A and B are shown apart, each in its own frame.
Chain A
Amino acid sequence: MVPTDLRYTKDHEWVRLDGDEATVGITAYAADQLGDIVFVELPDVGRTLDQFATFGVVESVKAVSDLFAPLAGEVSAANEELAANPELVNSDPYGAGWMLRIRAADVSQLDELLDPEAYDALVEAG
């Protein structure tokens, strides 16, 4: 069971909304599927993202995967810890492995995301 206070994309990002500030990361399932994460490329603070736009890249030993913004908005912070310790995405995907903070342009876009039950079902379906 995934954390119940989050919303999810079909591409395995999670988002936690606090007022209009959204924190974004990838799910434990995604981190596990990727395997050892060795590199995370994140956007500069101040960049504006559309909903579901590519905001960065996560690389495991074997593969490169794009990251997609769950909500539109302006990047207010990127997790600088991940430059030196990308493995935090594996060890604590919903906590210290967070990737971005976005000032959400339209919090109603949350309705277009998966709730925990729907995301669980997606993962179960493989």
Chain B
Amino acid sequence: MTSQPQVAQSTPLAERHANLGARLIEFGGWLMPVQYGSIIEEHRAVREAVGLFDLSHMGELFVEGPDAGEALAAALVTDPPALAEGRAHYSMICAADGGVLDDLIVYRLGEARYLVVANASNALVVSDTLAERLVGRKAVLDDGTLATGLIAIQGPRSIDVLRPLTDIDLDALRYYAIVEGHVAGMPALVARTGYTGEDGFEVFVDWDKAPALWDALLPAVRDAGGLPVGLGARDTLRLEAGMPLYGNELDSTTNPFEAGLGRVVKLSKAGDFVGRVALEKAAQAPLARTLVGLVMEGRGIARHGYPVYAAERRTGVVTSGTQSPSLGSPIAMAYVAPGDAEPGTILEVEIRQQRVPARVVALPFYRRRNSRADG
């Protein structure tokens, strides 16, 4: 077992957040800004212009060595050696029973060097589990979480904000690609990835450099009509984009197929990997439950944990819900019985002892215009 830190960690940008008047919450063992002003305005800034996010709480795990790729392929559900250098993919680390320990982004930085980005709340578990799974292989795990600052620039104007500040050819940087260069004169890894449903970039720098990077980016973001954005809007943005949040849609009792992430699991890859037997079985078996999108048809907001009914039968439970700033109506994700998952089906969510009708819809709730085709 891994012991959790007793006191919430501060990111290198804690002083910046305080000066901006951010409201702080503890999240995944870190003290993080939930909002600087209005969550809805921050959400809209990302949809319409650009938002700046401190993501320094995320776990950055560097895996390097001649066996790094092969070792990651044995540890994760994806096949990292199949990535070209400078490309990335969404992945998961599962337990032997197929349950999801975390969802991840894996970047191939070089021939034998990878970066695995884990959720803050799971970073220690992922680090420890990966370390165990690397034993006996020619690969070294370097947990860079406390040495790495991560700042995201997300939204349609993110490229305009970043372009004048970097020597990287951003127009040549494809979706789910990463490249080494400089931002505001600082050595950085710049990835075209994000968690908002918009175009955007994630910039990894040394921990100590993060404040100077933030100071260079924030005025440019404001000039482009953008705002600093906290975890509150990060959650509404990812929910509209139909992206799972570990702890809500995913946990160690969820298998990837139920979560609609079966395509991520590369059962066709050569070699064994942790969870293969269980996941091969799960891929063949009928689903016990499946993740759906719900749009509320009556009044009320469905929240995490609220029960979902199909007539008198309890069919499932809400995993995440909010008022959607983009749609102007309440939306939710829920696990329901597969027979109740067809888009158009009317279900009911129990909100404070009242049944409120909700329509099943295909995910995502929101898709940006001019979506890049190369994702």
Contact = CB atoms under 8 A, between A and B. Distances in A.
Interface of A: 35-36, 38-39, 41, 57, 59-62, 64, 83
Contacts, number: 37
Contacts of A35: 35, 38-39, 232
Interface stretch (B58-66, B74-82, B98-106, B297-305): B297-305
B352 interface: yes
A59 B236 CA distance: 14
A61 B330 CA distance: 10
B34 interface: yes
Given A39-B330, A60-B39, A62-B322, 7 more contacts: A38-B40, A39-B300, A41-B300, A59-B323, A61-B40, A64-B301, A64-B303
Contacts of A39: 299-301, 323, 330
A115 to B, nearest CB: 28
A61 B300 contact: no
A36 B323 CA distance: 10
A61 B322 contact: yes
B352 A83 contact: no
Main secondary structure of the interface of A (DSSP, over half): strand
B39 A61 contact: yes
Interface string B281-320: 0000000000000000001110100000000000000000
A60 B43 CA distance: 14
B232 A83 contact: no
A62 B299 contact: no
Contacts of B235: 62
A38 B303 contact: no
Nearest to A86: B323
Nearest to B330: A39
Interface of B: 34-35, 38-40, 232, 235-236, 299-301, 303, 322-323, 325, 330, 352
Contacts of A59: 301, 323
Given A61-B322, A61-B323, A36 B300 contact: no
A83 B300 CA distance: 10
B202 to A, nearest CB: 24
B232 A38 contact: no
A83 B329 CA distance: 12
Most buried by B among A39, A41, A59, A62: A62
Contacts of B236: 61
A45 B352 CA distance: 19
Contact of B39 (A36, A41, A64): A36
Nearest to A35: B39
B34 A38 contact: no
Contacts of A83: 299
B239 to A, nearest CB: 10
The 6 closest A-B pairs by CB, nearest first: A38-B323, A61-B39, A36-B40, A36-B38, A59-B301, A39-B301
24 contacts: A35-B35, A35-B38, A35-B39, A36-B39, A38-B40, A38-B301, A39-B299, A39-B301, A39-B323, A39-B330, A41-B299, A41-B300, A59-B301, A59-B323, A60-B39, A61-B40, A61-B232, A61-B236, A61-B325, A62-B34, A62-B39, A62-B232, A62-B322, A64-B303
A36 B34 CA distance: 13
Contacts of A61: 39-40, 232, 236, 322-323, 325
A57 B354 CA distance: 13
A82 to B, nearest CB: 11
Contacts of B323: 38-39, 59, 61
A60 B235 CA distance: 13
A39 B232 CA distance: 17
B257 to A, nearest CB: 30
A124 B274 CA distance: 54
Nearest to A38: B323
Contacts of A36: 38-40
Contact of A57 (B34, B35, B352): B352
Nearest to A33: B23
Nearest to A61: B39
A31 to B, nearest CB: 12
A73 to B, nearest CB: 22
Nearest to A90: B38
Nearest to A56: B352
